[in-house]
Amino acid sequence: MEKKNKIMLEEIPIDTEQKQRILRKIAEAAEEKKYAYCPSFWEIFYGQLKYISSFCLGGQIICFLLFLAVFGYFQSQGVGMTVYLGIGSASSSCIGVFLMMELSRSRDYGMAELEQACYLDLKQVWCIKMILFGSLDIVTLTAMAFGIAGNTSLNMIRIIVYLLAPFVLSNALQLLVFTFLRSRKGEYLQMGAAAFASGMSLLPLDHPNWYTTAYFGIWVCVLAAALVFLVREIVQLYHNLEEGEGICWS
């Protein structure tokens, strides 16, 4: 095989002065560029955790501990299945109130407009708070489900439906109250809505047959309807934030 001749490039002369000049220009341009700091998810999450109201976070934790205490008391009394489900329903329907109270702080204190104009806007802040409080709700509901399953003969799916139906319905109702109310008085109505939902969820205690297999289909339908209602409310809330009129309501 014929050996190819190497192409030799002639040496290019470097104008050191021009090189320095160009390098200086690049350095100047880099200096002018603003350093944009983008916090990671965990930094944002930890940052928000620091500023969440201790009343709301403490309330949520106390609610969970209260459930454990009441549950333990009834366990020692050896009560029937309906009582366990009643406590579970009432607790699950009121735990959402602390999230709503935390979300409404921005609006109650007139901070919403300012927060919406920040890099991390209100939608994102609320989303983080929903994740945090939602995680605590899941822990509480899981503990409830296992507690009830250990003391009754009901299967897990039925317990989950019995707990989730009042939980989702109550959250949707509270979100509806939250979307409509804009003053500080809303806080009390929010609590009123949670108390009302808890009271309503105790109704099956008077009608133990509602927890029989014959009524299970109705529970599933209520849960499905409540989920649709909740999703609709979340979409509405997002829309209000996007349009801004829910924030700038003066």
d(CA 170, CA 174): 6
d(CA 126, CA 178): 13
- Which of these segments, 110-118, 134-142, 167-175, 194-202, binds another protein (CB under 8 A)? 110-118
Q: Which two tokens stand for residue 7?
A: 């192409």
184 binds another protein (CB under 8 A): no
Query: Cβ 29 to another protein, closest distance in Å?
Result: 14
Query: Cβ 244 to another protein, closest distance in Å?
Result: 4
Residues 112-171 that bind another protein (CB under 8 A): 112-121, 125
Among 9, 30, 38, 214, binds another protein (CB under 8 A): 38
Q: Give Cα 43 to chain centroid, integer Å.
A: 17
Per-residue burial over 76-110, b = 16 or more CB atoms within 10 Å of its CB, e = otherwise: eeeeeebbbbbbbbbbbbbbbbbbbbbbbbbbbee
Among 2, 13, 29, 51, binds another protein (CB under 8 A): 51
Closer to another protein by CB, 25 or 184: give it.
Answer: 184
243 binds another protein (CB under 8 A): yes
Residues 197-226 that bind another protein (CB under 8 A): none
> Which H, E and C letters describe 16-53, residue by residue?
HHHHHHHHHHHHHHHHHCCCCCCCCHHHHHHHHHHHCC
42 binds another protein (CB under 8 A): no
Nearest to 226 by CA among 163, 165, 180: 165
Among 36, 150, 209, 212, binds another protein (CB under 8 A): 36
Query: Cβ 48 to another protein, closest distance in Å?
Result: 8
Closer to another protein by CB, 15 or 121: give it.
Answer: 121
248 binds another protein (CB under 8 A): yes
d(CA 163, CA 147): 12
d(CA 236, CA 231): 9
29 binds another protein (CB under 8 A): no
Query: Cβ 62 to another protein, closest distance in Å?
Result: 20
| Count helices and strands in the chain by DSSP H and E runs | 10, 0
- Which of these segments, 46-54, 168-176, 180-188, 227-235, binds another protein (CB under 8 A)? 46-54
CA angle 207, 167, 161 (to 5 degrees): 65
109 binds another protein (CB under 8 A): yes
d(CA 123, CA 128): 9
- Which of these segments, 40-48, 139-147, 173-181, 201-209, binds another protein (CB under 8 A)? 40-48
Query: Cβ 135 to another protein, closest distance in Å?
Result: 21
Binding site for another protein (CB under 8 A): 34-39, 43-44, 47-48, 51, 105, 109-121, 125, 242-245, 247-248, 250
